[in-house]
Amino acid sequence: MARPTSLSGFPESLPAGRVVEQQIVDDLRQTFELHGFAGIETRAVEPLSQLLQKGEIDKEVYLLRRLQADADAADSHADPRTLALHFDLTVPFARYVIENSGQLEFPFRRYQIQKVWRGERPQEGRYREFLQADIDVIDRDALPFHYEVELIEVMADAFSLLPLPPMTMRINNRRLMQGFGEGLGLNSAAMTTVLGALDKLDKIGPTAVAELLRERAQLTSPQVDACLALAAIRGHDAGVIEEVGALGVTSELLDQGLAEVALVLDHATAINRPGFTVLADFQVARGLDYYTGTVYETVMSGYEHLGSVCSGGRYDSLASDGRTTYPGVGLSFGVTRALAPLLARGVLASSRSVPTCVLIALPTEVDRPSCGRIAQALRQRGIACEVAPAAVKFGRQIRYAERRGIPFVWFPAAATADGVPAVRDIQAGVQEVADPATWLPPDNERRPRIVTKPE
């Protein structure tokens, strides 16, 4: 086998990096479950016809074909039964809900932590295979507004456990934007163009956006000014509602949207988790074409260039089988997008590369069974351990542990000068008498832990 090379866009971690990922996935799961979300996993594939319903993404889909499929079937592009890898967890979730609606209880709170695939050009924060952690609440026919607030609290709780930089969640509201457009006398086609233009503000700046608004959406100068003024408003409290009011635009839908934003901000203040802020920001326009209420985007402090690491919104129809409509609200945390850059920069690392807490030193190969019994006694009390691979000099056995970051070496009676078993704390260089039936490592050494260092 020639030395293989890594594939661009398909990140893989060394064991120490995997410790960090796994701990973060565990913390996410724990938080989601504490909030009553049930975990599901869907298959990795969907029929292409199902995936293409969300049209804009089609160019990024990976199609599947069996190597030994018939030549006729090989031109599978045209066949709607062709399978493709899912590119997000929302489409498979909607399909799962419709498929199992008779056996699910609504409202259905679910989380889903799985890989997704997109054939995009890879760059930092953008991968071809990446891990997403989604939470959604979906109901039948109607979904109460309070879930649009509750989901923020769930993610805030998750982020407060995770060793990540501070997060700012920027929110906007489809009704507010739509209502603002109505108040300005814009029809819905014009408003779609306006939202598309506002979405470019960060990239091309207000002058160029103003030109787009005038030329493509046929807005008058006062309309352009009002849109740009709205998009410039941001804040953490009800002050933003007053600022919008001061623009002098009114409509019933706008009032409704403003009231919803006020409720979200009010609750966000009450949540008050360290390192987590909610910011109303009426420039946020992504997804406003399919979301119908609150929309969310989240940037990680110092890593704004990654874009949003946690996005979502409310859908009035997340799924529908023709007879029944299922409204939902969801948030999707991009685990790989947030984590891979931190791991690559060494901002997050693991205290050791193996789960092993104790290496049992092996005096001679004949002692392997008795050393195995010591290991078993420790394992029964939840202490990860392994017996040394070979009965070499103890100095080499200690170095085996050191190279892996294993914090303790256990010396059985046959290995100590006084014939009494002892455990050595490698870092401290201290050795003490120990009984495998009662000895305990310090809590912070029991498992590998995440260590953070400033960049």
Single out the segment in contact with its own copies by CB under 8 A; choices: 54-62, 165-173, 192-200, 410-418.
Answer: 54-62
Contacts to its own copies from residues 160-199, by CB under 8 A: none
Exposed, middle or buried by CB within 10 Å (0-12, 13-18, 19+), for 129? middle
Residue 249, H or E segment: none
Query: Within 10 Å of residue 396's Cβ, how many Cβ atoms?
Result: 10
3-state secondary structure of 401: helix
Based on the shown chain and the rule CB under 8 A, indicate whether residue 13 belongs to the binding site for its own copies: yes
Sequence-separated (6 or more) residues with CB below 8 Å from residue 84: 45, 46, 47, 48, 51, 61, 62, 63, 64
Which of 235, 275, 307, 355 touches its own copies by CB under 8 A?
355
Based on the shown chain and the rule CB under 8 A, indicate whether residue 86 belongs to the binding site for its own copies: no
3-state secondary structure of 133: strand
Closest CB to its own copies among residues 144, 205: 144
Which of 85, 167, 209, 241 touches its own copies by CB under 8 A?
85
Pair of tokens at residue 205: 């700046």
Based on the shown chain and the rule CB under 8 A, indicate whether residue 384 belongs to the binding site for its own copies: yes
Sequence letter at residue 354: V
Binding mask 305-344 for its own copies (x = CB under 8 A): --------------xxxx----------------------
Query: Within 10 Å of residue 169's Cβ, how many Cβ atoms?
Result: 24
Closest CB to its own copies among residues 74, 208: 74
User: How many residues touch its own copies (CB under 8 A)?
Assistant: 100
Based on the shown chain and the rule CB under 8 A, indicate whether residue 444 belongs to the binding site for its own copies: no
For tokens 């971690």, the residue is 13
Which of 24, 28, 45, 306 touches its own copies by CB under 8 A?
45
424 with 361: CB under 8 angstroms? no
Based on the shown chain and the rule CB under 8 A, indicate whether residue 80 belongs to the binding site for its own copies: no
CB of 289 to its own copies, least distance (A): 19
Pair of tokens at residue 379: 């394992």
92 with 42: CB under 8 angstroms? yes
For tokens 């046959």, the residue is 414
Closest CB to its own copies among residues 183, 412: 412
Binding mask 254-293 for its own copies (x = CB under 8 A): -------------x--x-----------------------
Partners of 279 in the β-ladder = 170
Single out the segment in contact with its own copies by CB under 8 A; choices: 187-195, 288-296, 366-374, 409-417.
Answer: 366-374
Closest CB to its own copies among residues 131, 347: 131
Which of 88, 129, 255, 425 touches its own copies by CB under 8 A?
129
Which of 24, 28, 109, 292 touches its own copies by CB under 8 A?
109
Beta strands in 151-225 (DSSP E): 167-173
CB of 142 to its own copies, least distance (A): 10
Distance, CA of 84 to CA of 99 (rounded, Å): 18
CB of 338 to its own copies, least distance (A): 17
Based on the shown chain and the rule CB under 8 A, indicate whether residue 3 belongs to the binding site for its own copies: yes
269 with 293: CB under 8 angstroms? no
Closest CB to its own copies among residues 219, 401: 401
Closest CB to its own copies among residues 12, 418: 12
Which of 59, 203, 393, 453 touches its own copies by CB under 8 A?
59
3-state secondary structure of 283: coil
Query: Which of 380, 430, 437 has the alpha carbon at shortest distance from 408?
Result: 430
Based on the shown chain and the rule CB under 8 A, indicate whether residue 41 belongs to the binding site for its own copies: yes
Based on the shown chain and the rule CB under 8 A, indicate whether residue 146 belongs to the binding site for its own copies: yes
Single out the segment in contact with its own copies by CB under 8 A; choices: 228-236, 290-298, 299-307, 347-355.
Answer: 347-355
Adjacency order of strands within the sheet including 385-387 = 385-387, 358-360, 408-411, 422-425, 430-433
Contacts to its own copies from residues 213-252, by CB under 8 A: none
Sequence-separated (6 or more) residues with CB below 8 Å from residue 371: 360, 361, 362, 387, 388, 412
345 with 455: CB under 8 angstroms? yes
Contacts to its own copies from residues 404-433, by CB under 8 A: 404
**Signed CA dihedral, 283, 288, 294, 295: sign only:** negative
Closest CB to its own copies among residues 77, 393: 77
3-state secondary structure of 308: coil
Phi/psi for 207 (5° steps) reads -65, -45
Single out the segment in contact with its own copies by CB under 8 A; choices: 110-118, 226-234, 247-255, 296-304.
Answer: 110-118
Based on the shown chain and the rule CB under 8 A, indicate whether residue 449 belongs to the binding site for its own copies: no
Which of 208, 344, 366, 390 touches its own copies by CB under 8 A?
390
Single out the segment in contact with its own copies by CB under 8 A; choices: 71-79, 186-194, 245-253, 420-428.
Answer: 71-79
Based on the shown chain and the rule CB under 8 A, indicate whether residue 54 belongs to the binding site for its own copies: no
Pair of tokens at residue 214: 């005038």
